[in-house]
A and B are shown apart, each in its own frame.
Chain A
């Protein structure tokens, strides 16, 4: 794996898969040059430099919609689009789309146990108190 400036950019955004992330972290720990480069990227972000990758990732610019992911699951899209979404999920490793797909596939949902359901209910009730007051 070649570690480029763009790779480090993706690493900072936590957009690499687990294996690549471990590889990059190990390389950065072992290489003063890479560590310096990583610091310079963080510093350049701090002063407001723009990175195509960071913006693309943050705005989810090429992510399929939730509806498209649902159709992907049902294989109800044209083959090219299915192939692209598979690439986006598996090769690019988009965490947001993988989470969406898991959610679509989940029959039980995230609140399967009673404790979690109760915690959810309490949160819903308490958070309503923070809503802006009706005019």
Chain B
């Protein structure tokens, strides 16, 4: 299942990419699985996800928890806690 993954703020800077389309293996079921799989992809990813409980996620523009299934997602986002307003 190929999915678009987008990154924001310091997650984006650490990974060095704004977005990419990846095809996670079948065993990657949840958002937490995906973050763990990404963290294995290289030093820049490991750095972005060094503190995985801090990194927030959204699926198709809605906030999700780490145990949310990624099946059917069109766009998954990873970003730091928000600081707008």
| A and B: interacting chains | no
Q: Which residues of B contact A (CB under 8 A)?
A: none
Q: Which residues of A contact B (CB under 8 A)?
A: none
